Structure 1
Amino acid sequence: MSTSILLPFMPVSGEQLLPFADIVRKGDAERLWTGQSLLIEPHTALAHAAGAGARIAMGTSVTLMPLRHPFQTALEARSLAALTGKPFVAGLGTGPEPFVRSLRGRGYDSPLTAVREYATIVRDLLAGEVVDLTGEYHAMGGALVAMDTPRVELGLGVLRPRMAELAGELADVAVTWLAPPSYLAEVIVPALARGAARVDRPRPRVTAVVHVSLDAPGRDHERIVLAASQAHIRAPHYADMLRRAGIEVDPRNPPGTAAALIGSGTAAVGGAGDILRAIAAYRKAGADEVVLSATGIQTVDGTRASLDALRTVTAAQRSMR
């Protein structure tokens, strides 16, 4: 199983990515992932890092479909594979319903249909095919101009079983966020396998994004985990997923929810050894890659602290190889 890192903030300059990219460049992590940024756009930020010498594997976890046509998504992802000389994972997600509505004027009546259409177009364009699809939400007629680059893999963000089954049919990588190891093993991985079996293809790899809080003087792990997760646990689709996993989300008691995330192993806290044991639990649950998110540390204690935590944990992981 590989261990990667997430850029723990929305950047306001390309240079901010470089110390995090350096962890990957030195071989302590497999890939640098970014989430959706509404400051500097993530593909633009990653291209800047590549131009500054970060010729490393990268991925998006996830970029939001309503922001761009699937042709543009495929083109940007392939461009980053060309610029870095490394495989790229183009992770996609729909985004919260109010966000979708604000961009499109209406939400997706069927998010599964919207994702199926969008992901099919991106997948087929990246495979060099001529696409002729007119769907309920997305349409494409044509192809990318041929270009030889490292492979671009299609990723889909998955929270619940039906989307996981769709990812099993279409995606190379299923990306989870805030999914407990038990939920991964009992719900997500079996759903991915069912979807893959329907179309007679291998199950997608599983990439689990995991919030971490490394021991430090005065550090309150519940505060760190809450800072990293509070926006997501307020979203109905994340709250529903967590309840399915047996974690009650109480909007009147956010610290209690953070404690439950820690107690369930969803967040990895403690010393480096504790965090490595949490990573191992995700591996046992079926994760092929764990992405370490120091978002909470970044939010509370700043960039130096988040970099220190990521360097400490990834160096400890390397020493065990």
Structure 2
Amino acid sequence: MKFGLQLGYWMAQPPPHAGELVVAAENAGFDAVFAAESWGSDAFDPLAWWGSSTHRVRLGTSVVQMSARTPAATAMHALTLDHLSGGRMILGLGVSGPQVVEGWYGQPFAKPLARTREYVDIVRKVLARQAPVTNEGPHYRLPYTGPGALGLGKPLKPIVHPLRADLPIWLGAEGPKNVALTAEIADGWLAIYYAPRLAGMYNDWLDEGFARSGARRRREDFEIAASCQVVITDDASGELERMRWIMALYLGGMGAPELNFHAQVYRRMGYEREVDEIGRLFQAGEKERAAALVPDEMILDTAIIGDEAHVRDRLKVWEAAGVTMMLVSAPDVEQLHRLAPLVDM
């Protein structure tokens, strides 16, 4: 099982030690470094900037929000960074949620599965560079022929010859239909809030996709990168307290109350009552009470916290559940160095 470093997205300011973390991750034997985006920093520029100090580690987006860019624009970003890094780019894509898609990007959120399929198909056509790229839609028509079109659009193929036509595309997916689609059309799954005890359920979703006609991969050559808070500490209770606030934010504030994909994930884990009450309190502004309601087991289903021996034991459980990469974060180089011995387990 490999390790990837998740840089995430920026808060009010750029993180002060990210460049050092990226270099330390490469030196420690991490397989990849990922950057994310929400509605502030983007995912590509940090990889290009900090990744320029690396030579081996793969550079991935986790994830690029599809509504932020047309498929052709995303393909241009990916092929450019793939050239600059010598073939180390992983393109991680995700649909985000309706609050961001419609509120920030001004795009419709409807039919996310159909849009994902079409989006990935266009990106692959650009990277293949076998012919001028066309697409009949309905979501991304090339050439464009909708309202306001002059009728002068011309099918094009990239001027730059992509370094790899098979540049890996991973999808961020949380629900059963999206995970099945990921297994069908992608090279890997970026799993958020993965719970090893539900591996059987995830495998059913994945197997549905692998079994479809024309599926791109088999399980043996498909990557599952699971985001996980892995913290080596002698103060597990203090770390759990910190994570309660983060959990309350994602369950109560990162999505519309009637359509919060993170909340749906935890409902499927069996926490329906807790999710409903945490969400209600968070939306009412009672964030402290909402965080207090997050039980330890809700955090520990999707995180590993404890001394080194405990962390090593739990990592074996995640690997046995089918995870091929642990996607971890570290606040500073010291914490990353504490994780480094785990890379060569």
TM bucket normalised to smaller = 0.7 to 0.9
Residue 134 of structure 2 aligns to a residue whose secondary structure is strand
After superposition, residues 39-50 of structure 1 pair within 5 angstroms as 39-50=40-51
Mapped pair 1:288 → 2:324: yes
Deviations 1:261-302 (A, max 9, x none): 3342x11111223223332222111111111134xxx4xxxx
Mapped pair 1:171 → 2:186: yes
CA contact (8 A) 2:248 2:291 kept: yes
Residue 257 of structure 1 aligns to a residue whose secondary structure is coil
Amino acid aligned to 2:37: Q
CA RMSD, 1 decimal: 2.5
* 55 and 16 in structure 1: CA distance in 2 versus 1, 3 angstrom threshold: farther
Runs of 5+ consecutive residues of structure 2 not aligned to the other structure = 143-154, 282-289
Amino acid aligned to 1:136: P
Of 192, 207, 213, 1:193 maps to: 207
Residue 156 of structure 1 deviates from its aligned partner by 0.7
Tell me which residue corresponds to 1:301: none
Mapped pair 1:3 → 2:15: no
Structure with the larger strand share: 1
CA contact (8 A) 1:55 1:86 kept: no
After superposition, residues 20-169 of structure 1 pair within 5 angstroms as 20-53=21-54, 56-105=57-106, 107-130=108-131, 131-140=133-142, 141-149=155-163, 152-169=167-184
After superposition, residues 193-212 of structure 1 pair within 5 angstroms as 193-201=207-215, 202-203=218-219, 204-212=222-230
Of 296, 303, 308, 1:259 maps to: 296
CA contact (8 A) 2:37 2:43 kept: yes
* 247 and 310 in structure 1: CA distance in 2 versus 1, 3 angstrom threshold: farther
Mapped pair 1:180 → 2:201: no
Distance 1:66 1:133 in 2: 17
Distance 2:15 2:85 in 1: 15
Structure with the larger helix share: 1
Distance 2:335 2:298 in 1: 19
Distance 2:295 2:158 in 1: 45
CA contact (8 A) 2:92 2:170 kept: yes
Residue 8 of structure 1 deviates from its aligned partner by 4.5
Deviations 1:104-146 (A, max 9, x none): 5453221111111112211232233433213232233433235
Runs of 5+ consecutive residues of structure 1 not aligned to the other structure = 299-303
Of 325, 328, 335, 1:309 maps to: 335
Q: TM-score, normalised by structure 2?
A: 0.80
CA contact (8 A) 1:64 1:92 kept: yes
Distance 1:94 1:74 in 2: 16
Amino acid aligned to 2:169: L
Mapped pair 1:223 → 2:225: no
Which has the larger displacement, 46-55 or 110-119? 46-55
Which has the larger displacement, 122-131 or 5-14? 5-14
Distance 1:168 1:98 in 2: 26
CA contact (8 A) 1:262 1:269 kept: no
Residue 82 of structure 1 deviates from its aligned partner by 1.3
Residue 99 of structure 1 deviates from its aligned partner by 1.0
Distance 1:18 1:267 in 2: 25
* 27 and 310 in structure 1: CA distance in 2 versus 1, 3 angstrom threshold: closer
- Which of the two has higher C-alpha Rg? 2
Which has the larger displacement, 7-16 or 62-71? 7-16
CA contact (8 A) 2:236 2:306 kept: no
Amino acid aligned to 1:275: V
Tell me which residue corresponds to 2:269: 245
* 258 and 225 in structure 1: CA distance in 2 versus 1, 3 angstrom threshold: farther
Distance 2:182 2:309 in 1: 33
Identity percentage over the alignment? 22
Amino acid aligned to 1:115: T
Amino acid aligned to 1:156: L
Residue 9 of structure 1 deviates from its aligned partner by 4.7
Of 268, 272, 289, 2:308 maps to: 272
CA contact (8 A) 1:222 1:255 kept: no
Residue 41 of structure 1 deviates from its aligned partner by 2.2
* 279 and 114 in structure 1: CA distance in 2 versus 1, 3 angstrom threshold: same
* 105 and 83 in structure 1: CA distance in 2 versus 1, 3 angstrom threshold: closer
Structure 1 segments, 4+ long, off by >6 Å, are none
Residue 319 of structure 2 aligns to a residue whose secondary structure is helix
Amino acid aligned to 1:247: Y
Count of aligned pairs between the two proteins: 307
Which has the larger displacement, 12-21 or 236-245? 12-21
* 101 and 57 in structure 1: CA distance in 2 versus 1, 3 angstrom threshold: same
Amino acid aligned to 1:135: G
Deviations 1:73-97 (A, max 9, x none): 1111121221111422111111121
Which has the larger displacement, 136-145 or 236-245? 136-145
